[in-house]
Amino acid sequence: MTNKLIGTITVAALALCAAANAAGKPEVEKAKANADTFAALDRNGDKQISRTEAGVDRELSDNFAYIDTDGDGFISLAEFLAHFERLRDPT
């Protein structure tokens, strides 16, 4: 492999990394914000939101059954994040 080719590949790889960072960062921060919201709602720290805990948030309370996709009576972090994912992109 020539040095020139290696240089070209390196530049291409760096450009790809930069593009991935630019595209991925807001998503990561949004997910983190939602994870922080989840942690704030999870008053007893059992990593799920009960109906009682959801009661402090009108929207969460009203949509509880809809968000609790596996119907176990608790909203897990995955279910919570999936809910925001659906709100953002309802297709």
Nearest approach in angstroms of CB 36 to Ca ion is 15
The CA–CA distances, whole Å, from 83 to 6, 8, 14, 52, 79 equal 44, 42, 34, 19, 6
Q: Is residue 68 a contact residue for Ca ion (CB under 5 A)?
A: yes
Q: Is residue 64 a contact residue for Ca ion (CB under 5 A)?
A: no
Nearest approach in angstroms of CB 16 to Ca ion is 37
Using CB under 5 A, pick the residue from 28, 72, 78, 86 that binds Ca ion.
72
- DSSP for 19-44 reads HHHHHHHHHHHHHHHHHHHHHHH-TT
Nearest approach in angstroms of CB 57 to Ca ion is 13
**What residues line the site for Ca ion (CB under 5 A)?**
42, 44, 46, 68, 70, 72
